[in-house]
Amino acid sequence: MARLKQRARSHPDWMDFDSYSEQQVLALYHTRGLKGQEIVQTTVWKIAQDLSGRIAISAGMARMPDYRDELQELIRERFPSRRHFCQATGISEDMLSHVLAGRKDLSLEALTAALGRVGFTLRIMPLPVIDPVAAREKPRKKGKKPA
């Protein structure tokens, strides 16, 4: 983990970090006999992927998720189709299409009412920290050395 954090600090290029982190994590777990599907379930792999995503966002190569992403997930997981979602919420199919494509936005009032009709609500949350390394570091107690 320390090497991944150091690499994220010293080589903030997204592709460079991805290549390095994948090689390092695969090498670590292959020597322990793990296979691909087992490796991608490990905490170290998931942290490396998180660092990669943060580097991509910092570089402007990816974006933070927004309400459209959450709407798509809600539709995919809870409704058989977009049409069913629209019927349940009162949003027109045309409007939903424009919203999900990023061409239009729903007003806060319209979104709140639509979500309320299907048992959901909006919430206000703090923005996540984007710094790829600082986000993973925790303050250490005095006298403790880094792992």
Q: What are the pLDDT digits (tens) for 36-70?
A: 889 989 999 998 988 888 888 888 887 777 899 99
Same domain, 49 and 83: no
> Of 15, 30, 58, which one is at a domain's C-terminal end?
58
Residue 56, pLDDT score: 86
* 52/6 same-domain check: yes
Tokens describing residue 8: 């994220």
Return the pLDDT at 134: 52
Where does a domain end: 13, 30, 58? 58
In a domain, 133, yes or no: no
Together in a domain, 54 and 71? no
Q: CB-based contacts of 118: which residues, under 8 Å, 6+ apart?
A: 74, 78, 85, 88, 89
What is the reported pLDDT for 94? 97
Residue 23 has pLDDT above 60, yes or no: yes
Domain count of the fold of the chain: 2
Percent of the chain at pLDDT > 70 equals: 86
DSSP the chain: -HHHHHHHHH---HHHHHHHHHHHHHHHHHTTT--HHHHTTSHHHHHHHHHHHHHHHHTTSS----HHHHHHHHHHHH-SSHHHHHHHH---HHHHHHHHTTS----HHHHHHHHHHTT------PPPP--TTTTT--PPPTTPPP-
Full-prediction pTM beyond 0.95? Answer: no
Say if 146 falls within a structural domain.
Answer: no
Residues 49 and 71 in one domain: no
Whether residue 136 lies inside any domain: the answer is no
Choose the most confident range, by mean pLDDT, from 52-61, 73-82, 129-138.
73-82
Parent domain of 17: 2-58
Q: Is residue 141 included in any domain, yes or no? A: no
36-45, 83-92, 130-139: range with lowest mean pLDDT? 130-139
Tell me the pLDDT band of 80, cut-offs 50, 70 and 90: very high
- The answer to whether 113 touches 107, Cβ cutoff 8 Å, is no
Whether the pLDDT of residue 101 is over 80: the answer is yes
Q: Do the domain assignments include residue 41?
A: yes
Residue 82 lies in a domain: yes
